[in-house]
Amino acid sequence: MAAGIPSAPLPLRIHPVSVPPTAALGRVLAIDPSLRSTGYAVLQNSGGKVTALDFGIIKNVPTLLPSGCLVSIHAKVRELIEQHRPEVAAFESIIFVQSMRTAITLGTARGAALLAAAQHGLPIYEYAPRRVKQSVVGLGAAQKAQVAFMVRALLGLTETPHADAADALAIGLTHFQTAGSAARGAVSLERI
């Protein structure tokens, strides 16, 4: 063993974020990253009433090179931040996939959106897909259609949103729910 290199890895320390009681209020930008169809949502929580201010997908056509998709995602997320002025951003965390290529593609799309949020100084939180489904539907293995149906019902939307936009809305709802629990000391938020 080389001198100066520890024989065992150092333990990873995750410090819980202290959350003020008002953290469950305000405006969140929620992102469900994907190279060709990134879902986004801007939600406002005022006095316990959550409203969807804007939601949709960043659609990139199949003929656009991946590098062009990344530019498009980054630009749209910056535009959403400048237009809606959210206080925080919430992202779906990295998911387990069978294909290394798919993992890399999802990671780059996520990185483009994360960079835009970080450039604006937004606190960034992430939520596992199972946690989001559990929070909104009550079942961690819920199908996309179930998530879309529940998001429509919870937010009082007149139409069922596109699946990727529904996922982003669900991420935003999960953030408000989790921030509220964290403010009461029941859970801790994971900020990245």
Is residue 23 helix, strand or coil?
Answer: helix
Q: In the annotation, is 167 catalytic?
A: no
Q: How far apart are CA 174 and CA 177, in angstroms?
A: 5
- Nearest alpha-carbon partner for 164 in 146, 176, 148, 141: 148
- Among 54, 79, 82, 92, the active-site one is 92
Q: In the annotation, is 54 catalytic?
A: no
> What is each CA distance from 113 to 43, 61, 98, 99, in whole angstroms?
17, 18, 23, 22
Q: How far apart are CA 182 and CA 116, in angstroms?
A: 26
Q: How far apart are CA 175 and CA 23, in angstroms?
A: 10
Show the tokens assigned to 20. 């003020």
User: If you search the block for the tokens 């929580």, which residue do you land on?
Assistant: 45
Q: Which stretch of DSSP H or E encloses residue 57?
A: strand 49-59
- Among 87, 164, 167, 190, the active-site one is 164
Q: Which residues are catalytic?
A: 32, 92, 164
